[in-house]
Amino acid sequence: MTRQNVKVIIVEGRTDKEKVLKVVNEDVEIVCTNGTINVERLEDLIEMFDMDHRDVFILVDEDNAGKKLRKQLSKELPHAIHINIDKSYREVAATPESELAVALVSSHIRINPNFL
């Protein structure tokens, strides 16, 4: 499988990444932004991970910082697919694995069936 065939999932932090890796059942690259980022750093990440030519998914928290980051990412990556968690959980890391699995599978990301 070539790198271009591997999906990219953008999350905010390390705990989000760990949670996603726990439920995903395919090769994906997970990129942590560590919160909101400046345009220069975002452009570096886009280039480093060749995001202009890959399937990119945005999975961020449902809080003000996450909404700001989602908006910023949308401008730079208009082709990215947005994955939303239930607002009641607010954070990706706080979302139950079964709920996260449903959100990911609805975006055609293969997940471990144990979480459905």
11-40 pLDDT tens trace: 999 999 999 999 999 999 999 999 778 989
| The model scores a pTM over 0.85 | yes
Nearest to 6 by CA among 23, 22, 30: 30
- Residue 3, pLDDT score: 80
- Going by CATH, does the domain composed of 3-108 fall within 3.30.750.210? no
pLDDT tens digits, one per residue of 93-114? 999 999 999 999 999 999 999 9
Structure tokens at 108: 């055609």
Burial of 89 (0-12, 13-18, 19+ CB in 10 A): middle
For the chain, what are the domain ranges?
3-108
State the pairing for strand pair 7-11/28-32.
parallel
The residue with tokens 């910023």 is 72
Compute the CA torsion angle 41, 47, 49, 54 (nearest 10 deg): 120
Q: What is the mean pLDDT of the chain?
A: 95
